[in-house]
Amino acid sequence: MNIYTDIPSPAVKQAGESASAYGLQNHGLLNLKRVYWNLAPEALYEEAIFRGEGSICSQGPLVVNTGKHTARAAADKSLVREPSSEGYIWWGTHNRPFNPQSFNTLLTRLQAYLQGRDVFVQDCFGGADPDYRLPVRIITETAWHSLFARTMFLKPESLDAYRRHVPEFTIIAAPGFNASPLVDSTRTETFIILNLAERLAIIGGTCYGGEIKKTVFTILNALLPFDGVLPMHCSANVGPSGDAAIFFGLSGTGKTTLSADPARNLVGDDEHGWSDNGVFNFEDGCYAKVIRLSESAEPQIFECTRRFGTILENVVFDPRTRRLDLNDDKLTENTRAAYPLSFIGNALPDKRAGHPKNVVFLTCDASGVLPPISRLTPDQAVYHFMSGYTSKIAGTEIGLGIEPQITFSACFGAPFMVHHPYRYAQLLKAKILKYGADVWLVNTGWTGGPFGIGKRISIQHTRALLNAALNGQLAQVEYWQDPVFSVSVPKSCEGVPSSILDPANTWPSRAEYDRKYDTLAARFIDNFEFMLSEELEVPKDLVQYGPKRKRSV
């Protein structure tokens, strides 16, 4: 859209009605064309359509195309290296240092780019627990990104609260602004850079909404441990008797699907904190993968794709009938739906629960050798939490192909963890012991062979095993000890064939199974050596809670 035209937009008269007294000049944003403050979803729909940012499809969702970036640009995320934070940041692959002077130069150019342009502001909060919530301001170049932010985060409860909102962290997202690697010292034209000292993050060169969401998560991961709060890449729900459960896992492992259980109340699907008050959601929305979504297997999420107020990223639709085709992956495997948590009928309005009775680690084992469920001791939980073994599923990050990629993502969310994994693991173990939680490792990946040979474990079997763990039925059965990982594996579970509980039974060759299992054990051992080599003192005896190789090295 031509920024110099004076055609009034649909919400121009309401643009400043919900403005905060803490203006954008405090962020160095001057000479803007018009600022649209805290618009409601309906107004943002109108603005997005007026500006050609998306299309309204059958039954009301807003469908947008994120362009060349249909997933997180993980390699383009950095943190400014400065004195107040550099001592506690886990520098490396996921936390790349960025020069303060280069950040200031890039920020100045971004501020200049926004002059003469419209911007949208959402003043909101990260964290449903009032003792730990973080006031955040999200400034965007597009209306649909503002709708995304409003959908995903918690809102002030009154007009007066909007006017008094003062952010403690600010995000500026301008997808139309590209960095110059030669001038700005960035890797590419895309950048996601956090400055913890300035309480500011800037995003450019990408339209993918997940960058905004995960930037807030990274901020909370940096700040909350100082208050004794464990930030977690997990979903959470609560049973009829008030028993809470949390589900750790990377995208594609089943966090959203398995927590959306009609028999339990949903706390949230992705990001939470665990404080001395209990578990609380960081967000007010859900961000689910919807490629090949099944109405029968995932009815609650499926229904959300047919509702006004849902944002669909890169979902293919018929331009004439406006009907969606959730099976079409020609744009990406990583099609997404962002929708309010309230769209899930059994979601808890206050987004808070007590202390978890069960902690579940979800791993998508593409090698097909891990049991579908096993019970861990607190020390084994520390080992597996720090390891974060899983497989990256196609589309969730740029560069992933069709075949799953075996990976170790510390804390089941390494790209968003700012401190060393052992710091988060210490917090987790302390809370497990203090509140008496049981810990389970659940494999939602393959059985009967690796990817390409075996088959994905039935979601019905996974749900039956999880239900038995959460309702206490698995406390009543016999267990056997896995010979490689020494974890406890149930011998039986109602509704699940006993033969699949020992994955060796599902392979055509026991020798091939043993060989593949030994290879996986070696990968675990090598990965944990990296953890022990870090500057933070990690007890070397933690290795005894990991796998033992069956073959000689």
Cα-to-chain-centroid distance, residue 217: 8
**Which segments of 260-336 does DSSP mark as H helices, in order?**
299-304
Question: Residue 261's pLDDT is what?
Answer: 86
Residue 224 CB: number of other CB atoms within 10 A? 22
Residue 321 pLDDT greater than 70, yes or no: yes
Judging by beta carbons within 10 Å of its beta carbon (0-12, 13-18, 19+), is residue 349 exposed, middle or buried?
A: exposed
Between vectors from CA 33 to CA 29 and to CA 39, what angle results, nearest 5°?
Answer: 85
Catalytic residues: 72, 214, 233, 251, 255-256, 270, 336
Note whether 313 and 144 are within 8 A (CB).
no
Question: Residue 121's pLDDT is what?
Answer: 98
Side chain identity, residue 162: Y
pLDDT digits (tens, 9 = 90+) for 375-421: 999 999 999 999 999 987 654 445 545 677 889 999 999 999 999 99
Question: Residue 1's pLDDT is what?
Answer: 45
Gyration radius from the chain CA atoms = 23
Tokens encoding 179: 């960095």
Tokens encoding 424: 């988060």
Question: Residue 525's pLDDT is what?
Answer: 95
Note whether 328 and 290 are within 8 A (CB).
no
How much of the chain exceeds pLDDT 90, in percent? 88
The residue with greater pLDDT, 169 or 399, is: 169
Spell out a b/e string for 112-135, using b for 16 or more CB atoms within 10 Å of the CB, else e.
eebeebbbbbbbbbbbbbeebbbb
Question: Residue 538's pLDDT is what?
Answer: 83
How much of the chain exceeds pLDDT 70, in percent? 96
Average per-residue pLDDT in the chain? 94
pLDDT digits (tens, 9 = 90+) for 471-523: 999 999 999 999 999 999 999 999 999 999 999 999 999 999 999 999 999 99
Which is nearest to 306 in space by CA: 298, 209, 331? 298
Q: How many Å apart are CA 166 and CA 162, to the nearest integer?
A: 9
Whole-model pTM: value is: 0.93
Question: Residue 553's pLDDT is what?
Answer: 40
Residue 367 pLDDT greater than 50, yes or no: yes
Cα-to-chain-centroid distance, residue 3: 34
pLDDT digits (tens, 9 = 90+) for 4-56: 467 899 999 999 999 999 999 999 999 999 999 999 999 999 999 999 999 99
Confidence of residue 531 (pLDDT cuts 50, 70, 90): confident
CA separation (Å) from 253 to 89, 179, 200, 397, 511? Answer: 27, 33, 31, 14, 28
Query: Hunting for tokens 């403690």 — which residue is that?
Result: 168
Confidence of residue 254 (pLDDT cuts 50, 70, 90): confident
Confidence of residue 253 (pLDDT cuts 50, 70, 90): confident
Confidence of residue 536 (pLDDT cuts 50, 70, 90): low
